[in-house]
Amino acid sequence: MTGRQLPSIALLISDVDGTLVRPDKSLSDANVAAVAALRDAGVAFTLVSSRPPRGMAGVRKALQVDLPYAAYNGGTVLHADGSVAVSHRIPADAAREAIDVLTAHGVDAWVFADDLWLVLKDSGRLVDKEAMTLGYGPTRIDDFTPYLDRVDKMVGASDDHALLAQLEKTLAAQLADRATAARSQPYYLDLTAPQANKGHAVVALATLIGVDMARVAVIGDADNDVPMFGQAGWAIAMGQGEAAVQARADVVTASNRDDGVALAIYRYVLGATAAGTRAPPESATPGISRND
């Protein structure tokens, strides 16, 4: 953890999967109430996710997010009305190479393009899991080639977590400055354009919303969240995240099973920002640590 001083927070930007929602992809009453408390205190709140925009709609509605937000790991930044403010796509040659590497290792390749989730086979545990997460199913095709000139994001999906960790390093080196490879979950390896990372996204969002980066807090759990930790005035890692991710944050909250977002909002954001707002007592905030 970094040891920086906690600033007064005007904007909180949250990751979704592994952070804001529970492992079963549900949004807890505690997190909904905490985000509402932010609004009441005049603190802005928005989202940055590896999901496509369509897959964020339900969470945005439930939390009444009416500010710009970012999808595809920051590859697409959108205005509140859903119109695109910034878009970065993977070059076609890098997309083809990534598909070849993934399939050669027996990893399922998914392509997100034209607002579609494209797959070569439309069954399997991770396909079902992703369909539940996004709220819609995949489009099965026989060949990715016709779409490779407009890929917003690719995913390598596998239950072999060690293999994905190795392929993360392999593809990051092979694609170099043409695409970024980072796991968003142990079973998902995301590939996006080099400019499409959450660090760039939170800067773009803060600019659109009109908040200085020093007063932005971010919260996330995975490798793909680390780029935003270095940009924000305050970085919060989830309790179930990998140690290397937690080490890059200012503080570590509880896990997503235990409503770590809500706990962090009350303890840090509202505790430091909203006049007259108290954090819950220590006994009500298990799992939170800080670098005092």
Out of 132, 159, 192, pick the residue that ends a domain: 192
1 part of a folded domain: no
Q: Which residue has the higher pLDDT, 59 or 281?
A: 59
pLDDT digits (tens, 9 = 90+) for 211-266: 999 999 999 999 999 999 999 999 999 999 989 999 999 999 999 999 999 999 99
Q: What is the pLDDT of residue 288?
A: 47
Residues 185 and 40 both lie in one domain: no
Beta strand extents in 11-140 (DSSP E only):
11-14, 44-47, 69-71, 76-78, 84-87, 108-113, 116-119, 139-140
CA 171 from chain centre, in angstroms, equals 20
Average pLDDT over residues 38-56: 96
Residues 185 and 203 both lie in one domain: no
Q: Which residue has the higher pLDDT, 3 or 275?
A: 3
Task: Using the predicted structure, report yes or no on whether residue 273 has a pLDDT greater than 70.
Answer: no
Q: Which domain holds residue 170?
A: 92-192
| CATH number, domain containing residue 59 | 3.40.50.1000
Residues 280 and 201 both lie in one domain: yes
Q: Exposed (0-12), middle (13-18) or buried (19+): which is 90, by Cβ within 10 Å?
A: buried
Residues 98 and 150 both lie in one domain: yes
Task: Using the predicted structure, report yes or no on whether residue 201 has a pLDDT greater than 60.
Answer: yes
pTM: 0.84
Q: What is the pLDDT of residue 271?
A: 84
Q: What is the pLDDT of residue 291?
A: 40
74 part of a folded domain: yes
End-to-end distance of the chain based on CA atoms, in angstroms?
Answer: 10
